């Protein structure tokens, strides 16, 4: 069974086009779940009008209070009945063969599949013919699950609007940890449960406009949000320890030890003492961990410069 999880908020301009593209797939989906985050426009009525004419299962849930993106997707995923969940934004357009292509990529071992996308504006004019290219995702980063698991800890790789995953992932982690976005969270966890497949085909038109809730271009790790990112990763390590303790299939956690090493490394950036932080970074460069999890000596110099001149937080 295939479910689509769509989150909406004031999406009346584009949601009809997106829903129609989902309903008219060459490989039909079985269920569409929509969680609306307190829209004050006609989004919900537009969705109802379209879905009432559709023969599949559907549900629209209107949140009692605003949850924002991450928690709204968490709720939406939990309401899906399908073995496979396709994550959907409200304002994109799916190629007619998106579901068919993604489902062909799944096998017994694969738990997460995602694709490239064409980036378009409000009127579907092409802004960039490859999302991956726009954020410097290289083929070697995605050539295997091993390569993916290495780079997912350094940077953003998976855009939620293009991803589909097996619901079994949520059996281990039903709660998505804020402030981490839903696609980052699932992207981090997936290698611990199975194989990852990245499809180079552009399977959606990823629409960017003034009211876009999330923007893939803003998800790159900048100097200003490094610390938050590293704190997220440190908390991820704690979650994975719990997963190992509770999971009856702990042998699925193929990459957990490597993740823990990476999280320990990134935890350096959470240290408040600047001298200690720089000292530990230098040690990590000597023992090879810096190059493994972060980058070359030039980036080390930039990190040290940033640490020396960053403003202390109260």
Q: Give, in degrees to the nearest 5, the angle at Cα 16 between 14 and 22.
A: 110
Model pLDDT for residues 11-31, shown as the tens digit of each residue? 999 999 999 999 999 999 999
pLDDT classification of 266: cutoffs 50, 70, 90: confident
Q: State phi, psi for 180 to the nearest 5 degrees.
A: -65, 135
Model pLDDT for residues 86-106, shown as the tens digit of each residue? 999 999 999 999 999 999 999
Q: How far apart are CA 170 and CA 204, in angstroms?
A: 25
Fold of 2-218: Spore Coat Polysaccharide Biosynthesis Protein SpsA; Chain A (3.90.550)
Q: How far apart are CA 269 and CA 264, in angstroms?
A: 10
Find out whether 118 and 205 touch, Cβ atoms under 8 Å: yes
Average pLDDT over residues 244-256: 53
How many CB atoms are located within 10 Å of the residue 4 CB? 27
Q: How far apart are CA 276 and CA 214, in angstroms?
A: 35
Find out whether 232 and 178 touch, Cβ atoms under 8 Å: no
Q: State phi, psi for 29 to the nearest 5 degrees.
A: -90, 160
3-class secondary structure, 255: coil
Model pLDDT for residues 65-90, shown as the tens digit of each residue? 999 999 999 999 999 999 999 999 99
Q: Which pTM value belongs to this model?
A: 0.84
Model pLDDT for residues 127-162, shown as the tens digit of each residue? 999 999 999 999 999 999 888 987 887 778 999 999
Domain assignments of the chain as residue spans, ordered by start: 2-218, 223-309
Q: Check pLDDT > 60 for residue 229.
A: no
């Amino acid at each position: 069974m295939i479910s689509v999880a769509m989150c909406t908020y004031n999406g009346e301009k584009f949601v009809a086009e997106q829903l129609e593209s989902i309903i008219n797939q060459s490989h039909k989906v079985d269920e569409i779940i929509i969680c609306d985050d307190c829209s004050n426009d006609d989004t919900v009525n537009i969705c109802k009008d379209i879905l009432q004419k559709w023969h599949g299962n559907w549900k629209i849930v209107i949140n009692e209070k605003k949850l924002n993106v991450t928690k709204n997707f968490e709720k939406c995923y939990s309401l899906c009945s399908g073995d496979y969940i396709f994550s959907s934004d409200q304002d994109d357009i799916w190629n007619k063969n998106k579901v068919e292509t993604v489902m062909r990529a799944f096998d017994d071992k694969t738990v997460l599949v995602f694709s490239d996308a064409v980036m378009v504006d409000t009127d579907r004019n092409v802004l960039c013919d490859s999302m991956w290219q726009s954020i410097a995702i290289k083929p070697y980063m995605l050539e295997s699950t091993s390569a993916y698991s290495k780079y997912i800890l350094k940077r953003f790789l998976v855009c939620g609007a293009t991803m589909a995953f097996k619901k079994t992932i949520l059996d281990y982690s039903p709660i998505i940890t804020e402030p981490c976005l839903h696609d980052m969270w699932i992207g981090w966890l997936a290698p611990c449960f199975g194989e990852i497949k990245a499809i180079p085909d552009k399977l959606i038109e990823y629409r960017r406009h003034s009211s876009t809730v999330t923007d893939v271009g803003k998800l790159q790790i900048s100097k200003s949000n490094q610390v938050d990112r590293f704190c997220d990763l440190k908390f991820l390590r704690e979650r994975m320890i719990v997963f190992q303790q509770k999971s009856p299939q702990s042998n699925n956690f193929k990459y957990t030890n490597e993740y823990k090493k990476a999280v320990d490394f990134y935890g350096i950036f959470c240290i408040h003492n600047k001298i200690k932080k720089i000292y530990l970074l230098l040690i990590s460069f000597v023992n090879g961990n810096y190059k493994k999890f972060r980058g070359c000596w030039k980036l080390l110099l930039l990190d040290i410069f940033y640490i020396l001149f960053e403003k202390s937080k109260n």
